[in-house]
Amino acid sequence: MAEKTDLATKSPAVPAGTETTYGGNQFVPRVDIIETDKQLIVHADLPGVTPENVDLRYERGELVLHGRVTPRPRAGTLLMGEYEVGDFHRAFQVHESIDASKIEAECKNGVLTVYLPKEEAAQPKKVTVKAS
């Protein structure tokens, strides 16, 4: 989304990548999803987010990531502001072959990583071909 500018005041009205909602700004964090034979791995870019501010849910094949980024304390004049604050929300349809009882998540260095292990029956099986 392009940055919006209020022509009357010549200042940014809404930071790039955010949408104005009733409760304030909401943004969409960047996400990478990786699939291996045994699991899906989701990496979400959430700088400044603490685990307490993340609500992560998996239900009926949908992974929902929701939370809040609070403003950082400033000790001076802000010259440029691209750090997104406010609510964030992402939802993904994931195949129901995920073993929900084994889902794990960690937040480290501004990246939320979610591990979604596949059920044993959904994992690829190696079939040995025998000579006759």
Does residue 43 fall inside a structural domain?
A: yes
Does residue 76 fall inside a structural domain?
A: no
41 has pLDDT over 90 = yes
Per the DSSP assignment, residues forming a β-bridge with 5 are 12
Read off the pLDDT of residues 84-114 as tens digits, 9 standing for 90 and up.
778 888 999 987 789 999 999 999 988 999 9
28 has pLDDT over 50 = yes
81, 15 Cβ separation under 8 angstroms: yes
DSSP string covering 22-64, please?
A: TTEEEE---EEEEE-SSEEEEEEE-TT--GGGEEEEEETTEEE
Does residue 93 fall inside a structural domain?
A: yes
Does residue 5 fall inside a structural domain?
A: no
Does residue 15 fall inside a structural domain?
A: yes
The mean per-residue pLDDT over the stretch 27-53 comes to 91
More confident residue, 22 or 130: 130
Does residue 105 fall inside a structural domain?
A: yes
Structural domain of 90: 11-71+82-122
Per the DSSP assignment, residues forming a β-bridge with 115 are 41, 104
14, 4 Cβ separation under 8 angstroms: yes
- pLDDT at residue 92, as a whole number: 92
- CATH code, domain with 101: 2.60.40.790
Read off the pLDDT of residues 63-91 as tens digits, 9 standing for 90 and up.
999 988 888 888 899 888 877 778 888 99
- pLDDT at residue 24, as a whole number: 59
- Domain total for the chain? 1
